Amino acid sequence: DVKVTQSSRYLVKRTGEKVFLECVQDMDHENMFWYRQDPGLGLRLIYFSYDVKMKEKGDIPEGYSVSREKKERFSLILESASTNQTSMYLCASKRAEVGSQPQHFGDGTRLSIL
Amino acid sequence: GQNIDQPTEMTATEGAIVQINCTYQTSGFNGLFWYQQHAGEAPTFLSYNVLDGLEEKGRFSSFLSRSKGYSYLLLKELQMKDSASYLCAARSGNTGKLIFGQGTTLQVKP
């Protein structure tokens, strides 16, 4: 079974802090994704990565950056946290070659910015 | 533009059948996924359609009409554990990117 692990289930940070959310997958997947999930808005793509050291902006990249130094790890960085970044953050991964392969999700990190 | 619509909430009775609809307008449409998400948990994959027609997997079936930009998820013999959110997601182009609808929260009542 694919395992996508997010480092924290719950996180509380202060406005202006630099926040790191970590995601690790154990299936040698090339593609990795970061989403945020808000009530009434569904999952929105922040950034994704096709492979190591590759990254592309998703639909809402403002205020975020990412890092993919190793294939198994994809980090989301909030450069200077703001209260409107309070949300559920979900990481996902999938194999690159076959489009019909689903994305596999981690359990999510519920981030509160005070 | 990219847009996916699905009802926000639905209620059904244990043992019954429920159909959750999804309409999409997606450039370069290349397949549709359904996911189930229980409260506080990760979304889990249910089904994938790329060609027109019905795909059946046990109690769950999914249908796609590419010409109408329409899909539905059919849940038969509903059980209480089917109470969850159901997410419709369209694949755009040849990337792994998905565009998600807002999700349909299904409540199954005894």
Q: In the predicted model, is pLDDT for residue A99 greater than 80? A: no
Whose structure tokens read 């489009």?
A99
Beta bridge partners of A74: A23
Per-residue confidence at A98, pLDDT binned at 50, 70, 90? low
Give the pLDDT confidence score for residue B84 in this predicted structure.
97
Is B100 in Cβ contact with A44 (below 8 Å)? yes
A28-42 confidence digits (pLDDT tens): 999 999 999 998 888
Query: Does residue B1 carry a pLDDT above 70?
Result: no
CB-side exposure of A105: number of CA atoms within 13 Å? 25
Interface residue B43 vs chain A (CB under 8 A):
yes
Choosing among B97, B99, B104, B105, which should be mutated to test the A contact, i.e. which has the most A CBs within 10 A?
Answer: B97
* Mean pLDDT of the region A55-67: 96
Summary mean pLDDT of chain A: 93
Chain A CB within 8 Å of residue B60 CB = no
Residue A51 has pLDDT above 80, yes or no: yes
Which residue from A32, A36, A98 is spatially nearest to A69, judged by alpha carbons?
A32
pLDDT digits (tens, 9 = 90+) for B33-60: 999 999 989 999 999 999 999 999 999 9
Structure token digits, residue A86? 């309070």
**CB of B38 less than 8 A from some CB of A:** no
